[in-house]
């Protein structure tokens, strides 16, 4: 694990959707497990966490959704550009065959390396519109849905998942996406008696448990997670209900 940022050079860039780009770089001696993340540093600007979404031989990748000044600056970068990384951080997924992965929006990036490692996995991905679906050519047989019906089923992954749980026997369900979605996924898995692991997306500043910004019912998401089991999530009272904002304010999920 690297505690101080090291500068890496972008060796390739791939457009996954109109608003998502993947930036590839040499991973050197770093070892990543599916579900872990790195802190990405842009000098004189800021530092943000990103899931490791590709692992190919000596190359790793992060998939970046454009939604603010920091991510726009990343999107403006070209091949041979550089940024700093430190990590990897967090607890990843416990991989099991015969599984189902449920991704919402950019949350699919956290599940991607897991899906690469489990060739028999069933993948469900949802987004608001067709332009939000990523990795369409990467995972064949992926079942998709969109809120507006512009691609796949009209609806959400919460509409897709019950049919899969009724018709298939899964050893585990893995999920990442908006927390309200994850809450429903855990509910469904508990109802059908299927084990579940979910990767939480909380605001992170340090990445290693010092600042407490990503707290969820006493659990530091960056250190104790970001992956939690359904049993752990079921006793975390804040899960799906409350989070800490960038300003440090506790707010109730709407």
Asked if the structure places residue 66 within a domain, the reply is yes
Asked if the structure places residue 217 within a domain, the reply is no
HSE-CB for 149 with a 13 A CA cutoff? 1
HSE-CB for 125 with a 13 A CA cutoff? 25
Band of pLDDT at residue 242, cut at 50, 70 and 90? confident
Separation of CA 192 from chain center: 24
Asked if the structure places residue 220 within a domain, the reply is no
Per DSSP, the three-state class of 21 is strand
The conformational region for residue 221 under phi > 0 = left, psi -120 to 50 = alpha, else beta, is alpha
* CB count in 10 Å sphere of residue 248: 10
Asked if the structure places residue 173 within a domain, the reply is no
pLDDT at 202 over 90: no
Q: How large is the angle between the packed helices 179-192 and 157-167, nearest 10 degrees?
A: 20
pLDDT at 56 over 90: no
- Mean of the pLDDT values across residues 87-111? 95
- Mean of the pLDDT values across residues 36-60? 94
148 secondary structure, DSSP code: T
DSSP 3-state percent helix, strand, coil across the chain (nearest 5): 20, 40, 40
Tally DSSP H helices, then E strands, for the chain.
6, 17
Per the prediction, the chain carries an average pLDDT of: 91
What percent of the chain is modeled with pLDDT above 70? 94
Of the candidates 240, 227, 254, 235, the residue with the CA atom closest to the CA atom of residue 172: 227
Task: Give the integer Cα–Cα distance in Å for 233 and 212.
Answer: 18
Q: Which CATH number goes with the domain that contains 64?
A: 2.40.30.10
Asked if the structure places residue 120 within a domain, the reply is no
* CB count in 10 Å sphere of residue 58: 11
What percent of the chain is modeled with pLDDT above 90? 75
How many domains are contained in the chain?
1
The whole-number pLDDT of residue 39 equals: 94
Asked if the structure places residue 12 within a domain, the reply is yes
The whole-number pLDDT of residue 86 equals: 92
Band of pLDDT at residue 30, cut at 50, 70 and 90? confident
Radius of gyration of the chain measured on its C-alpha atoms: 17
The whole-number pLDDT of residue 220 equals: 85
Kind plus residue range of the DSSP H or E element containing 172: strand 172-176
Asked if the structure places residue 8 within a domain, the reply is yes
The whole-number pLDDT of residue 218 equals: 80
pLDDT at 248 over 70: no
Q: For the whole model, what pTM was predicted?
A: 0.93
Provide the residue range defining the domain that includes 14: 2-89
Asked if the structure places residue 32 within a domain, the reply is yes
- Mean of the pLDDT values across residues 97-125? 95
The whole-number pLDDT of residue 46 equals: 92
- φ, ψ of residue 238 to 5 degrees: the values are -75, -20
Measured torsion, CA atoms of residues 165, 158, 232, 101, in degrees rounded to the nearest 10: 60
- Mean of the pLDDT values across residues 215-240? 88
- Mean of the pLDDT values across residues 19-35? 92
- Mean of the pLDDT values across residues 200-226? 79
The whole-number pLDDT of residue 246 equals: 66
Band of pLDDT at residue 38, cut at 50, 70 and 90? very high
Band of pLDDT at residue 243, cut at 50, 70 and 90? confident
Show the CA angle centred on residue 16, arms to residues 60 and 58, nearest 5°: 15
């Amino acid at each position: 694990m690297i505690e101080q940022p090291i500068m890496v050079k972008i060796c390739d860039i791939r457009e996954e959707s109109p608003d998502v780009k993947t930036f590839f770089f040499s991973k050197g001696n770093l070892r990543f497990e599916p579900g872990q993340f790195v802190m990405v540093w842009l000098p004189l600007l800021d530092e943000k966490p990103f899931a490791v979404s590709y692992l190919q031989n000596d190359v790793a990748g992060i998939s970046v959704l454009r939604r603010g000044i920091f991510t726009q600056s990343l999107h403006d970068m070209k091949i041979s550009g550089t940024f700093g990384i430190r990590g990897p951080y967090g607890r990843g997924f416990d991989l099991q065959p015969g599984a189902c992965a449920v991704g919402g929006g950019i949350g699919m990036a956290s599940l991607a390396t897991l899906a690469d490692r489990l060739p028999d996995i069933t993948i469900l991905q949802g987004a608001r519109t067709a332009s939000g679906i990523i990795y369409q050519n990467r995972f064949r047989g992926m079942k998709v849905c969109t809120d507006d019906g512009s691609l796949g089923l009209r609806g959400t992954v919460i509409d897709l998942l019950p049919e899969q749980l009724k018709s298939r026997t899964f050893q585990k369900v893995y999920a990442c996406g908006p927390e309200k979605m994850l809450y429903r996924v855990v509910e469904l898995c508990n109802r059908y008696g299927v084990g579940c692991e979910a990767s939480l997306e909380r605001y992170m500043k340090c990445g290693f448990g010092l600042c407490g910004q990503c707290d969820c019912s006493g659990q530091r998401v960056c250190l104790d997670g970001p992956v939690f089991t359904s049993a752990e999530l079921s006793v975390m009272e804040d899960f799906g209900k409350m989070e800490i904002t960038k300003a440090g304010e506790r707010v109730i999920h709407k």
